[in-house]
Amino acid sequence: MSEPARPENTRGSLFDPVFGAGEIAPMLSDHAWLTALLDVEVAITRTAERYGRATSDDVAAVAAAAARIARELDPAELGGLAAAGGNPVIPLVKILRDRADAPATAVHVGATSQDVLDSALMLLSRKAGGYVLGQLRAAADAAARLARTHRDTPMVARTLGQQALPTTFGALAAGWLAALDDGAAEVERAVNTLPVQYGGAAGTLAAVHPDGPAFADTLADLLGLARPLVPWHTARTPITRLASALGIATGSVSKAATDIVLMAATELGEVAEDAPGGSSAMPHKRNPVAAITARAAARRVPGLVATALAAADHEFARAAGAWHAEWETLTDLIRLSGGAAHQLSVCLGGLHVNPDALSRNLGLTGGAILAEKVTAALAEHTGGARDIVTAAAAAGTPLDRVPAITEHLGADRVRELLDPTCYLGHAGDLVDRALAHHDLTKGSA
Amino acid sequence: MSEPARPENTRGSLFDPVFGAGEIAPMLSDHAWLTALLDVEVAITRTAERYGRATSDDVAAVAAAAARIARELDPAELGGLAAAGGNPVIPLVKILRDRADAPATAVHVGATSQDVLDSALMLLSRKAGGYVLGQLRAAADAAARLARTHRDTPMVARTLGQQALPTTFGALAAGWLAALDDGAAEVERAVNTLPVQYGGAAGTLAAVHPDGPAFADTLADLLGLARPLVPWHTARTPITRLASALGIATGSVSKAATDIVLMAATELGEVAEDAPGGSSAMPHKRNPVAAITARAAARRVPGLVATALAAADHEFARAAGAWHAEWETLTDLIRLSGGAAHQLSVCLGGLHVNPDALSRNLGLTGGAILAEKVTAALAEHTGGARDIVTAAAAAGTPLDRVPAITEHLGADRVRELLDPTCYLGHAGDLVDRALAHHDLTKGSA
Amino acid sequence: MSEPARPENTRGSLFDPVFGAGEIAPMLSDHAWLTALLDVEVAITRTAERYGRATSDDVAAVAAAAARIARELDPAELGGLAAAGGNPVIPLVKILRDRADAPATAVHVGATSQDVLDSALMLLSRKAGGYVLGQLRAAADAAARLARTHRDTPMVARTLGQQALPTTFGALAAGWLAALDDGAAEVERAVNTLPVQYGGAAGTLAAVHPDGPAFADTLADLLGLARPLVPWHTARTPITRLASALGIATGSVSKAATDIVLMAATELGEVAEDAPGGSSAMPHKRNPVAAITARAAARRVPGLVATALAAADHEFARAAGAWHAEWETLTDLIRLSGGAAHQLSVCLGGLHVNPDALSRNLGLTGGAILAEKVTAALAEHTGGARDIVTAAAAAGTPLDRVPAITEHLGADRVRELLDPTCYLGHAGDLVDRALAHHDLTKGSA
Amino acid sequence: MSEPARPENTRGSLFDPVFGAGEIAPMLSDHAWLTALLDVEVAITRTAERYGRATSDDVAAVAAAAARIARELDPAELGGLAAAGGNPVIPLVKILRDRADAPATAVHVGATSQDVLDSALMLLSRKAGGYVLGQLRAAADAAARLARTHRDTPMVARTLGQQALPTTFGALAAGWLAALDDGAAEVERAVNTLPVQYGGAAGTLAAVHPDGPAFADTLADLLGLARPLVPWHTARTPITRLASALGIATGSVSKAATDIVLMAATELGEVAEDAPGGSSAMPHKRNPVAAITARAAARRVPGLVATALAAADHEFARAAGAWHAEWETLTDLIRLSGGAAHQLSVCLGGLHVNPDALSRNLGLTGGAILAEKVTAALAEHTGGARDIVTAAAAAGTPLDRVPAITEHLGADRVRELLDPTCYLGHAGDLVDRALAHHDLTKGSA
């Protein structure tokens, strides 16, 4: 009977919740692997029945044995057995054959270890990838709500860390939304095309000739995976595509999370998370923990994408290392991406926006961010416009109190020119465009 | 007048040809950048004319000045001027305004430095990315020819470095083809959706209100770039998507190149490049230089993709570092990807396949790779089948000379079972599938 | 009371044994973290006692409570509590204060979460890093034995995949040895300088003023860590140095493992692992599983090093993401490096070298690899030496049977010139040098 | 005769100045490569003379020819010739032999292409690496000056983006200093141990037997490089060590640059660069361009380090791709590291620190950051201390005006407790320690 994993050997349960991976981690656990490997084996026997290579009794026996093994076999025990051959499928097939009341030939029909492991990885990726997608969409929905609510809330746009010109919080959030929608689209595309792997030891489907391609397609259908053009045992684009999509999407997550962390700074105080991390010793602290940990998870993604891409050079018909390097790299990638997206969805979903702080910061330079507009208007009256305005700005004098300006424009006109709400451009239109696209995307999803 | 770049400061000309980048490097050179930046500025003025913000005389004057600057300005001089502000657009706009017989307001209309730099990067990416695509397709075409020609040429499939079972050279090449076609599709998709950047200093299009979105669309059309949903100054999915696509495609390149390097080994001798690198001292050497350098270029790509993905966290309305980090990262990525694809297309385009060597290596184990088939057949006659065959294999005795086997099966039957050409499975079918898909892809391209 | 981790949530036990991490993984598990965090807290209270900030009763109470918590607290429970504040120290301190029969002021004295988490990470790194070092040394010792045993066993040197000139197996192994010794030295240096972290919330040691620096030094001594120059809460060189050292060492591992995989190929057959992975279906297969999985683990290391390096930009006095990104990145790095080194030590420790195969492959070109020596000797007799030899080599004619050669040199002289054992250069000397350096290194260790 | 490089093919001159690489780029240019390759060849002939394998006339002739070639040969031409064999040494040796008035045997004595290319790369690395070291030290010196000057200038320490407790600008700068000194020490160590490469085609030094090891040592001495233990043609620790050291040092650079960018934000205004990037349109903008571009260069380093580490798996006696992948990866790494360090030294060297702004920001929370001290003091008088203080802090009431507090402590005592300058802990001591260590490091340099 299965014993629980010895706690001194396990990892993940301490830090996964911190990085938002509490929900996704079980979809990629050792037990999830075991179940997926068995699901593939059962589907192979089921497919074999369709092509007269196994009986319905065999299917029942193999399915029953697989269910027992999934319940009872400790993944750590399988791991120990896996070391000798370098993958867990070799011992798992032996166990399944031993325990199933069916001939050995009805198990693992025409398959090689890589077929089962790759297909199981695709099953995990489809399920957990679907979760990532859901979290990305939740984050995008939250960004959309923020963009809609604050469509016309003025704030200052900062470039290179410096206050530049007015914009709106809605426009900022619309940028998050567009990037998140893009990222989600990449993940959706990659997840929806994950193919089954089935080619046999040499990738020729020789063991099930003449049923090979049909066998592979049936297997794909049974597992709910895409039908492959040809076996992809050494053509790893399904894996590099998924890894890249997660990298793209997580890049979008990190953009929004970074803005939140900066805007939540004590000095800016423009946003706060709904449940910021506090400190008993420092009651004034409101750490934007969800955004912080989203960033942290996101920072770990690009290196893993590089590993996945660099592992594409599978030599010959099964790579001696590059293949094995993909397994945990991909599950780590999915888990971290899902965690980052989850944390961002939590962060944005409960975000408190402080319009007063936005307004206060927007006014910080006393209109200097719009001085150029005064210069332009003044230039119609005097050739020294730029010098006059620059001198006043440097001296910190409010422009509506500079006689050399007001004699031409009038103080009211100057104040109007300096009014940030009069220079928001298409901020609102851009919000509307991003929202319309988001709604369209959701409709098609 | 423009002086040539001081040779002591330049790089690329020594190693680019080695890495297959002789053709693509000029598309991404300093001069190409200068030209692209100016192309964007001219298109901005041209767009401004459409919206009544510049005259046709302005357009002519700006275009003429830009053409002169492109001819005469040393990029190194612009580079020197660029250091103060952190990008070359600031001084270039000044130069253009100085030299164009047009009002300052007709130049850089409503634009910010990032608009021009990003759009220029998209122009370079579209052109050079198109070249990468062409080289990927040339490599895929060469793989297709090899797959077709050697559809039925037997060879041994190797898994984990060990001979496993028979396959065909065609099936191996079909695997290359499928991966290359996948990679090319990713690059095509990314290159075809590269958008123009145009948002103004705060990304609100305020300076050209109420023409903003229309202005951006017109600019895109004039430059032959995609119309953006919203300004993407801090939503960098166009860049992360392109970087990822290049990473995926180059992964496919490295797979084929790695196989070539291994098959060209003296001991295997299964393939040779048309123009291998020789050695005056060692006339027997036939280094597969194109495959080697394709691998070398490909190895440098994943790290750059990681850099591009990690740079997606652009804070606020213009990132203080992440933006600048993208520029050369992306052009290096494109150049190396293009070089790798070029080298592979050269390698595969002239590849000499040696069927005799393939056959010799296939026979190396004296049939041991098919011993399992003998075991299976023998098992119908005796319970000790596996032991008998394993013992003979371990002793190195040809199975058709083992009495314990031939008494049941006959030597002819044993030899038939050991004939690799009788166990190629669907190798030919897989070639046909990959070729059909390739032809379809080309038709739609 | 502690419950075992729910098996559906755990990971690592399935794949760690495959990647050689069966022994090291428990040193980096959730439970190891919990224990290390508590060890740091107890040492802090113990240090506080030295400076009159806690009593000996407090120390006993805190130590007793910590021991109970280490036994009873499920890391998963702590993980769940950790999510709110973004790190597990916050809830752990609360639990420790609740359960220790000591005043709150005697727990976590003058410390901040980062002090405890960083110091715990250093404790894990020192212990598990020591294990990595041990495995690297075991691998180096095995390489040394191979170099010594096969000091004079001829084999062919291959450059760019092509046979080049003779060398010895000993010289090849000496190259492995030198690289492994270098890598081990880097790891030893990094592990031996891991410092304690102790600075308080702002890094000023204000809460324990005027005992701050002395307090930190005492704490370091009690934990067996290095004394820090200053708190390094945002000066992360201890972490980047360790990550880099692991990257360097694992690069050395991958070099040797790659050679083994290639030499174990069916066609070369020059080496075999002691316990290669077999296949019931393919009795001829002898997969070098330890080398394969060493390579696989090694391939995952560079991306993680990049993540660790990129996380060095800790802003202000505690980074909002970069800090959190280090934790699992570093433990993954240590675990994978240790696994790779372990697998290589297993591989090399039991390696079977086949001198006959080495000899057979060395003779494969019939002397062509030494044709240049014949050319040189012949050139003293005739101006057409190179043409004569090249023609014969191209035709595949043994050079000792070419009249145009033997008329000048004599067949015996030609055979002598082509004898690879007469052109081994300093292969033996290089083995001796590498061995002497290795012995020296061990002596000093 | 040499023609200048065609400008349309060159790169670097446009962006190098932006990234601070204007000075270092020429040390790593194509021309620098050509010169270094020739320097190695001349040194080889010079060494050969010592061992009676060349005459002094040969040395003179080879040196003269090399000098002419260095002046006259366009690297682009050599690059074109290099493509056929995959490296520039093959054609360069041919050119040198053609042009030198010396027998062919006096050129490239006993060497293989990799010997020359690797040794040339070490020459470039030593020189340009020395420049990187100089820039790191300049940045560290500037940090030291800032730490000394502002040893006692109070500012607020920020953790996770939130104001936490008081510290000093000096303590912050001391953290930069410690990290930069650490990074410089790593680079110095790596640069000082760069070894010559000399092993011949098989790495056995056969062609110069029995002078091999002595020949290599002499060559090292002549070139000013370290003597190698054994040829390291496939033991790449000198390269991975240098790459890692640059990664570590650049991580330290990015820490300081990131702080500067954040502190220069309009809302904080705590620092400004001496020559910030301005904007004619926005006179209030003071972009910290040097810090921004330092960060940008630094962001590109980790991915390159990963590439260098991943390239360590050189198979057999010369790697078919991994070797070639190192060349530009290493020079890019050095150039970017040097640029980042240069920009930081410029940034810190001219940094304007604004104590008023530091003071203003420190007072922003009205003492809330020290509320805990009031709680602690109040707790000696009443059990409800924490509730009282927390309520006042939440209400924003100054603590010295809360009767429930002042009735116990007195308003003066409360203000004293809230005075940040009374809670700086060991900030000054830490500055002193970092400065003392820095001075010690310089003394030993």
For residue B6, pLDDT beyond 50: yes
pLDDT tens digits, one per residue of C383-395? 888 889 888 877 8
Distance CA D223, CA D220 (A): 5
- DSSP class of residue A157 equals E
Q: What is the rounded average pLDDT of the residues B318-333?
A: 98
Inter-chain residue contact B284 with C158, CB threshold 8 Å: no
| Nearest CA among D37, D41, D44 for reference residue D219 | D44
**What was the pLDDT predicted at C372?**
80
Distance CA C243, CA B270 (A): 41
The residue ranges of chain C whose pLDDT is under 50 are 1-5
Contacts of D266 in chain A (CB under 8 A): 158, 161-163, 364-365
Write down the architecture of domain D113-358 according to CATH: Up-down Bundle (1.20)
Q: Which of residues 241-280 of D touch B (CB under 8 A)?
A: 257, 261, 275, 277-279
For residue B9, pLDDT beyond 80: no
Mutate to test the interface with A, among B90, B152, B163, B313 (most CBs of A within 10 A): B313
**What was the pLDDT predicted at C373?**
86
Inter-chain residue contact B235 with A176, CB threshold 8 Å: yes
Q: Copy the structure tokens of residue C356.
A: 């006959």
Distance CA C325, CA A294 (A): 10
Inter-chain residue contact B267 with C268, CB threshold 8 Å: yes
- Whether the CB-CB separation of B207 and B148 falls below 8 Å is answered with no
Of B204, B301, B309, which has the smallest distance from its Cβ to A425's Cβ?
B204
Amino acid at B67: A
Mutate to test the interface with C, among A1, A6, A15 (most CBs of C within 10 A): A15
Contacts of C308 in chain B (CB under 8 A): none
Distance CA C94, CA C91 (A): 5
pLDDT tens digits, one per residue of A360-401? 999 998 888 888 888 888 988 988 888 898 888 778 788 899
The interface predicted TM-score (ipTM) is 0.96
Percent of chain A residues topping a pLDDT of 90: 86
Run of H or E residues at D236: none
Query: Chain B: nearest CA to A9, how far in angstroms?
Result: 29
Inter-chain residue contact A247 with B305, CB threshold 8 Å: yes
Contacts of A78 in chain C (CB under 8 A): 14
The percent helix, strand, coil of chain C (3-state, each to 5) is 65, 5, 30
Among the listed residues D50, D158, D318, D415, the single catalytic one is D318
State the chains in contact with B (3 or more Cβ–Cβ pairs under 8 Å): A, C, D
pLDDT tens digits, one per residue of D395-425? 878 889 999 999 999 999 999 999 999 999 9
For residue A8, pLDDT beyond 80: no
**What was the pLDDT predicted at D1?**
35
Q: Copy the structure tokens of residue A229.
A: 């053009």
Query: Chain B: nearest CA to C254, how far in angstroms?
Result: 15
**What was the pLDDT predicted at D442?**
79
For residue A2, pLDDT beyond 80: no
C230 touches chain D (CB under 8 A): yes
Percent of chain A residues topping a pLDDT of 70: 96
pLDDT classification of D372: cutoffs 50, 70, 90: confident
pLDDT tens digits, one per residue of B251-281? 999 999 999 999 999 999 999 999 877 665 5
Query: Chain A: nearest CA to C387, how far in angstroms?
Result: 38
| Nearest CA among B400, B412, B360 for reference residue B154 | B360
Inter-chain residue contact D390 with A162, CB threshold 8 Å: no
**What was the pLDDT predicted at A279?**
59
Look at residue D307 and give its three-state secondary structure: helix
Mutate to test the interface with B, among D6, D8, D14 (most CBs of B within 10 A): D14
For residue A19, pLDDT beyond 70: yes
Distance CA C210, CA D174 (A): 19
- Helix axis angle, A212-223 to A30-50, nearest 10°: 130
Contacts of D90 in chain B (CB under 8 A): 277
Distance CA A343, CA D316 (A): 47
pLDDT tens digits, one per residue of A151-161? 999 999 999 99
**Domain locations in chain D?**
113-358, 367-417
Q: Which of residues 91-110 of C touch B (CB under 8 A)?
A: none
Query: Chain B: nearest CA to A248, how far in angstroms?
Result: 6
Query: Chain B: nearest CA to A63, how far in angstroms?
Result: 25
Query: Chain C: nearest CA to D329, how far in angstroms?
Result: 14
What positions of A carry a catalytic annotation?
Answer: 279, 318
For residue B2, pLDDT beyond 60: no
Q: Which residue of chain D is at minimal alpha-carbon distance from C258?
A: D315
Q: Which residue of chain B is at minimal alpha-carbon distance from D329?
A: B300
Mutate to test the interface with C, among A9, A284, A314 (most CBs of C within 10 A): A9
Average pLDDT along chain D: 94
Burial classification of residue B419, based on how many CB atoms lie within 10 Å of its CB (0-12 exposed, 13-18 middle, 19 or more buried): middle
pLDDT classification of D445: cutoffs 50, 70, 90: low
**What was the pLDDT predicted at C169?**
98
pTM, to two decimals: 0.97
Length in residues, chain A: 445
Of C262, C266, C369, which has the smallest distance from its Cβ to B284's Cβ?
C369
Q: Which residue of chain C is at minimal alpha-carbon distance from B259?
A: C161
**What was the pLDDT predicted at D3?**
44
Inter-chain residue contact A282 with D372, CB threshold 8 Å: yes
Inter-chain residue contact A241 with B202, CB threshold 8 Å: no
For residue A445, pLDDT beyond 80: no
Buried b (16+ CB within 10 A) or exposed e, C80-90: bbbbbbbbbbb
pLDDT tens digits, one per residue of C242-273? 999 999 999 999 999 999 999 999 999 999 99
Among the listed residues D13, D71, D189, D279, the single catalytic one is D279
Query: Chain C: nearest CA to B74, how far in angstroms?
Result: 35
Inter-chain residue contact A10 with C8, CB threshold 8 Å: no
**What was the pLDDT predicted at C214?**
98
Distance CA B236, CA A253 (A): 11
Query: Chain B: nearest CA to D127, how far in angstroms?
Result: 15
Q: Which residue of chain C is at minimal alpha-carbon distance from A4?
A: C7
Mutate to test the interface with B, among C266, C358, C361 (most CBs of B within 10 A): C266
**What was the pLDDT predicted at D7?**
55
CA C119 vs CA C29, C305, D426: distances in Å: 16, 20, 20
∠ Cα C360 C364 C370 (to 5°) = 115
C394 touches chain B (CB under 8 A): yes
Contacts of B247 in chain A (CB under 8 A): 240, 244, 305, 309
**What was the pLDDT predicted at A149?**
98
Of D202, D237, D315, which has the smallest distance from its Cβ to C182's Cβ?
D237
Q: Copy the structure tokens of residue A429.
A: 């239109």
Contacts of D269 in chain A (CB under 8 A): none
pLDDT tens digits, one per residue of C355-413? 999 999 999 988 888 888 888 889 889 888 888 988 887 787 888 999 999 999 999 99
Q: What is the rounded average pLDDT of the residues D340-352?
A: 98
Q: What is the rounded average pLDDT of the residues D191-212?
A: 96
**What was the pLDDT predicted at D429?**
98
Inter-chain residue contact C85 with A13, CB threshold 8 Å: no
**What was the pLDDT predicted at B288?**
96
Q: What is the rounded average pLDDT of the residues B421-430?
A: 96
Q: Report CA torsion sign: A334, A335, A341, A345.
A: positive
**What was the pLDDT predicted at B1?**
35
For residue D148, pLDDT beyond 90: yes
What positions of B carry a catalytic annotation?
Answer: 279, 318
Q: Which of residues 109-168 of D touch C (CB under 8 A)?
A: 112, 157-161, 164-168
Average pLDDT along chain B: 94
**What was the pLDDT predicted at B281?**
54
Of D2, D5, D328, which has the smallest distance from its Cβ to B15's Cβ?
D328
B391 touches chain C (CB under 8 A): no
For residue B336, pLDDT beyond 60: yes
Inter-chain residue contact C313 with D298, CB threshold 8 Å: yes
Other Cβ atoms closer than 10 A to D113: 22
